[in-house]
Chain A
Amino acid sequence: GAGVSQSPRYKVAKRGQDVALRCDPISGHVSLFWYQQALGQGPEFLTYFQNEAQLDKSGLPSDRFFAERPEGSVSTLKIQRTQQEDSAVYLCASGRDYHNEQFFGPGTRLTVL
């Protein structure tokens, strides 16, 4: 079956622009995570959804970051007024439930100029 997909795969934004990154989890997966991966670093937790409920958003670095999953499937990570320090790969992962394996998507590489 299809894995986790993310779009776009690459995004270049000018500083100050708003961006929206999409994640299509594996069908039926309850859990959905967003991570930020800086170059040469491990993924860092941003936020977690269980179905449509955002249960943890403690990793979001500022109020410019917003995530939603309105129908419990597709999720969007929105970054407003992008800054250069937002440049990173944004990874989405889904799982059948929290205790199970997380399946990662290929990521979206965001470059802010």
Chain B
Amino acid sequence: QQQVKQSPQSLIVQKGGISIINCAYENTAFDYFPWYQQFPGKGPALLIAIRPDVSEKKEGRFTISFNKSAKQFSLHIMDSQPGDSATYFCAASIIGGNQFYFGTGTSLTVIP
């Protein structure tokens, strides 16, 4: 059973546009929600993360929006650039637990 559901599977955005990737979870015990960026042949790299005590976190062009009641969170990439073309994974974990649960990934292509 997929603990974290991610959509869309793929996304094509024009340069300068906004990329939006969504994730949903069921386990209300999750309390740490990171987003990872992965380029081909590389391991995932942490992009930005949020805890459920805030509804939004912004770092540069990347923003996480978190809706605790809906059990959803999303990544927004503002002013998308061709260099942002990569696969993005959301994840969730429980503080004190040992496991991180990853979504199935979104392949983002930013067209020049």
Give the B-binding residues of A (Cβ under 8 A): 4, 33, 40-45, 48, 55-56, 58-59, 91, 93, 98-99, 101-107
Our pick among B43, B49, B91, B98 for the contact of A56 (Cβ within 8 Å) is B98
User: Is A101 within 8 A of B100, CB to CB?
Assistant: no
Q: Flag if A42 contacts B105 (CB, 8 Å).
A: yes
Contact flag A48-B43 (CB < 8 Å), given A41-B105, A42-B89: no
Q: How many residues of B contact A (CB 8 A)?
A: 23
* CB-contact partner of A59 in B45, B89, B99, under 8 A: B99
Complex Cα spacing A40 to B102, Å = 12
Q: Closest A-chain residue to B32, C-beta based?
A: A99
B45 / chain A contacts, CB cutoff of 8 Å: 104
In the complex formed, the residue of B with least CB distance to A57 is B98
Question: Which residues of the partner chain A approach B49 to less than 8 Å between Cβ atoms?
Answer: 101
A-B contact count (CB 8 A): 52
A106 touches B43 (CB 8 A): yes
Given contacts A104-B43, A104-B44, are A99 and B102 in contact (CB under 8 A)? no
Residue numbers in B under 8 Å from A33 (CB-CB): 100
Interface of A is mostly: loop
Bound Cα distance A107, B34 (Å): 20
**B42 and A42 form a contact (CB under 8 A):** no
With a cutoff of 8 Å between Cβ atoms, the chain B residues found around residue A99 in the complex are: 32, 95
Contact in complex: A42, B104 (CB < 8 Å): yes
* Interface set of B (CB-CB < 8 Å, partner A): 6, 32, 34, 36, 41-46, 49, 89, 91, 95-96, 98-105
For B45, B46, B98, B100, the residue with the greatest tally of chain A CB atoms inside 10 Å of its CB is: B98
Give chain A residues whose Cβ lies under 8 Å from the Cβ of B105: 40-42
Closest to B36 in A: A104
Q: Is the CB of B43 within 8 A of A45?
A: no
12 A-B residue pairs with CB within 8 Å: A42-B91, A42-B104, A43-B102, A45-B100, A58-B99, A91-B44, A104-B43, A104-B45, A105-B43, A106-B41, A106-B42, A106-B43
Tell whether, in the assembled complex, residue B89 and residue A43 are in contact, meaning their CB atoms are under 8 Å apart. yes
List of A residues within 8 angstroms of B46 by Cβ:
101-103
- Chain B: CB-nearest residue to A49: B98
